[in-house]
Amino acid sequence: MKIIIFLVASLLISFVLSAQTLIFSDDFDSYTVGGKVAQQNTTGIWTTWSNSPGSAEDAEVSSTQAFNGANSAYIANDVDLVLLLNDKTTGRYQLEFEMFIESGKMGYFNLLQDFAGNNSEWGFQVTFHPDGITKVDAGGDSITGFYFNFDQWYHVNFIVDIDDDFATMYFDGNEIVSWKWSGGSFGDGTLHKLDAADFYGLVDGANSGMYIDNIIFNEMSVPEFPVNLTVNYTGGNNVLTWITPTTTPDSYLLTVNSNVVAQGITDTFYTDVNPYPQTYVYNVRAQYNSLGYSHASNDANITVPGGVNRNFVVFEVGTGTWCYYCPGAALACEDMEANGDSAASIEYHTGDSYATTESEARVNHYNMTGIPTAVVDGDLRIEGGNHTTSLYPNYHQAYLIRKAKNALFTINLTATQTGTYDYSLQIDMEQMSAYYSGTKKLYTVITESNIAESWQGLSELNFVQRLLLPDANGTSLDFSSQTTQSQTITFTLDPTWVKDNCDLVVFLQDAATDEIVQAAKIDMATVVSASIASPINVAIYPNPTKDNLFVRTTQQGKYKIIN
Cα separation, 151 vs 107, in Å, equals 12
Whether residue 33 is found in the same domain as residue 131: yes
> Is position 543 within any domain?
no
pLDDT score of 141: 86
Contact in structure between 114 and 238 (CB atoms under 8 Å): no
What single letter denotes the amino acid at residue 203?
V
User: Which pLDDT band, with edges at 50, 70 and 90, does 188 fall under?
Assistant: confident
In a shared domain, residues 368 and 291: no
**Residue 253 predicted with pLDDT over 50:** yes
Q: What is the pLDDT of residues 466-507, one digit of tens each?
A: 999 999 999 999 999 999 999 999 999 999 999 999 999 999
Is 130 within the bounds of a domain? yes
Instruction: Say what the pTM is.
Output: 0.81
Same domain flag for 335 and 424: yes
4: pLDDT strictly greater than 90: no
Q: Are 335 and 275 part of one and the same domain?
A: no
Task: Write down the pLDDT at residue 453.
Answer: 98
> Which of 273, 303, 333 lies at the terminal end of a domain, its last residue?
303
- 128 located within any domain: yes
Percent of the chain residues topping a pLDDT of 90: 88
Res. 546 pLDDT band, cuts 50 70 90: low
Instruction: Give every CB contact of residue 282 below 8 A, 6+ residues apart in sequence.
Output: 229, 231, 238, 240, 254, 255, 256, 272, 299, 300, 301, 302
Provide the mean pLDDT of the chain: 93
Amino acid identity for residue 128 in this structure = F
Question: Within this chain, do residues 342 and 255 fall inside the same structural domain, yes or no?
Answer: no
Same domain (yes/no): 197, 245 = no
Establish if 134 belongs to a structural domain.
Answer: yes
For range 260-269, the mean pLDDT? 97
Domain boundary among 247, 280, 303: 303
- On the question of pLDDT at 563 being above 90, the answer is no
Residue 389 in any domain: the answer is yes
- When computed from its CA atoms, the radius of gyration of the chain, rounded to whole angstroms, is 30
Residue 329 has pLDDT above 60, yes or no: yes
CA triple 142-129-102, angle to 5 deg: 145
- Encode pLDDT of 232-246 as tens digits: 999 999 999 999 999
CATH of the domain at 478: 2.60.40.10
DSSP code of 339?
A: T
Report the alpha-carbon distance of residue 280 to residue 231 in Å, rounded: 10
Same domain, 401 and 491: yes
Residue 8 falls within a domain, yes or no? Answer: no
560 φ, ψ to 5°?
-115, 125
Domain count, the chain: 3
Query: Which residue range(s) make up the domain with 282?
Result: 227-303
Phi-psi category of 473—alpha, beta or left, where left has phi over 0 and alpha has psi -120 to 50?
Answer: alpha
For 189-212, write each residue's pLDDT tens digit. 999 999 999 999 999 999 999 999
DSSP states along 418-482: -SSSEEEEEEEEEES--SS-S-EEEEEEEEE--EEEEETTEEEE-SEEEEEES-TT-EEE--SS-
pLDDT single digits (tens) 331-384: 999 999 999 999 999 999 999 999 999 999 999 999 999 999 999 999 999 999
The per-type count for the chain, helices as H runs and strands as E runs, is: 6, 38
Regarding whether 106 and 61 lie in a shared domain, the answer is yes
Examine the domain organization and report whether 317 and 299 are in the same domain.
Answer: no
Q: In what order do the strands lie in the sheet with 227-234?
A: 227-234, 237-243, 269-272
3-state helix/strand/coil string of 70-118: CCEEEECCCCEEEEEEEEECCCEEEEEEEEEECCCCEEEEEEEEECECE
d(CA 219, CA 324): 49
What digits encode the pLDDT tens for the residues 130-179?
999 999 999 988 999 999 999 999 999 999 999 999 999 999 999 999 99
Task: Band the pLDDT of 247: cuts 50, 70, 90.
Answer: very high
Burial class, 367, CB count within 10 angstroms (exposed 0-12 / middle 13-18 / buried 19+): exposed
Do 138 and 182 belong together in one domain? yes
Which pLDDT score, from 0 to 100, does residue 20 have? Answer: 85
In this model, does residue 414 exceed pLDDT 50?
yes
Claim to verify: residue 276 and residue 319 sit in the same structural domain: no
CATH number, domain with residue 186: 2.60.120.200
Residue 532 belongs to some domain of the structure: no
Amino acid at 517: V
Q: Which of 281, 303, 325 is the last residue of a domain?
A: 303
Assigned domain for 552 exists? no
Residues 24 and 140 in one domain: yes
